[in-house]
Amino acid sequence: MKIVIAGAGQLGSRHLQALRAVQFPLDIRVIDPTPTALNTAMDRWQAAPRSEAEHAVSFSSDPGPIDGPVDLAIIATNADQRRATVEALLCQGVVRTMILEKLLFTREEDFGAVAELFQRHRTQAWVNCNMRMMPFYGGIRAEIGRGPVHYRVSGSDFGLISGAIHYLDHLAYLTGCSNFQLHADRLEWPPIPCKRPGFSELTGSLEARFDDGSQMHITCYPGKGIPILLEIESPEYRCICRESESMAWISRQSGAWRWEETEAVVPFQSQLTTRLAEEILTRGTCPLPDYALSASIHLQFLNPLWKFIARQGEGKGQPFLFT
């Protein structure tokens, strides 16, 4: 089966590592214009645990022609390059399925344009908001019960804008409600540098109020070294998670609210993509949100954010600063 990875940076190379453990043969092509990124991807491929399957892998700085249909494409470029990358791949021929990294795009118009491309080319696509497929975080859904959920995240250095989409998607998954109003008036300005050159981040707080009464509060402090604390509450369930320690504490109405300590391991992308690829290539589905759902969540998140940026003096039509 033919796989294309577009973008061999930190995320793309982790996807590649995971593919080496897939249990059936793959023909993988990795594309990135940056030689250092390709070299990193090669090194990580060689170091990755392997299955018994014999995979073929090639590395290229030139997208060039791709022979035959692509069974799965993973788009791990920066957000400002993602639409053009999708367009280039689909123009070359059949791409049956696709995983896109988030944040999806830097311009609002890209969301609809790419949706039309997927429909025209009959490409099934998902977005890598992966908390819902992690054993601990995904398992909360079966326990949380009915009623509105209160979801709080706080810490520092975690990338408020790039990280918030994961938490918004997770709460939508837990409750089945994906419609919300985002309030961005407690964000702080100016932006701070992001790990990726040319992009920025913000500190401060975001609040989301969902149509079912659920609420989310996310705060990224400007200081350094504050661990992420995640709290999830419903009328029947409470959870406190300290990700950096891979530990959580849970209490349930059914257990007289006694606190129980449990492991809360967050798998690496170099582990998660093995399962994703195997499920997509054998069953045609996976646990990630599909493109339509994730695009809706993205736009409900990014449009108020764009308005906040515009109020700071940034001109209309400027791309989002985040990836």
CATH number at residue 123: 3.40.50.720
Q: Both 172 and 219 in a single domain?
A: yes
pLDDT grade, residue 195 (50/70/90)?
A: confident
How many residues comprise the chain?
323
Q: What is the pLDDT of residues 218-255, one digit of tens each?
A: 999 998 999 999 999 999 999 999 999 999 999 999 99
Residue 319 counted as domain residue: no
Average pLDDT of the residues of the chain: 94
Confidence at residue 313, expressed as pLDDT on a 0 to 100 scale: 78
Query: What residues pair up with 154 in beta bridges, in sequence order?
Result: 219, 229
Q: What is the pLDDT of residues 38-75, one digit of tens each?
A: 999 999 999 999 899 999 999 999 888 888 899 999 99
Q: What is the domain extent for residue 141?
A: 135-266
Give the helix/strand (H/E) hosting 279: helix 269-283
Q: Both 121 and 153 in a single domain?
A: no
Q: Hey, what are 196's tokens?
A: 């990726």
Q: Both 120 and 57 in a single domain?
A: yes
Residue 294 counted as domain residue: no
Q: Both 152 and 249 in a single domain?
A: yes
CATH number of the structural domain spanning residue 140: 3.30.360.10
Residue 323 counted as domain residue: no
Q: Which of 240, 187, 197 is closest to 218 using CA atoms?
A: 187
Q: Both 161 and 200 in a single domain?
A: yes
Asked whether residue 316 carries a pLDDT value surpassing 70, the answer given is no
Residue 10 counted as domain residue: yes
Q: Both 190 and 283 in a single domain?
A: no
Q: Both 170 and 230 in a single domain?
A: yes
Cα separation values, 261 from 239, 249, 264, 320, Å: 10, 5, 9, 40
pLDDT grade, residue 152 (50/70/90)?
A: very high
Q: What's the whole-model pTM score?
A: 0.96
Instruction: In whole angstroms, give the CA distance from residue 300 to residue 46.
Output: 41
Query: What residues pair up with 75 in beta bridges, in sequence order?
Result: 6, 100
Q: Both 106 and 165 in a single domain?
A: no
Residue 296 counted as domain residue: no
Report the number of distinct structural domains present in the chain.
Answer: 2
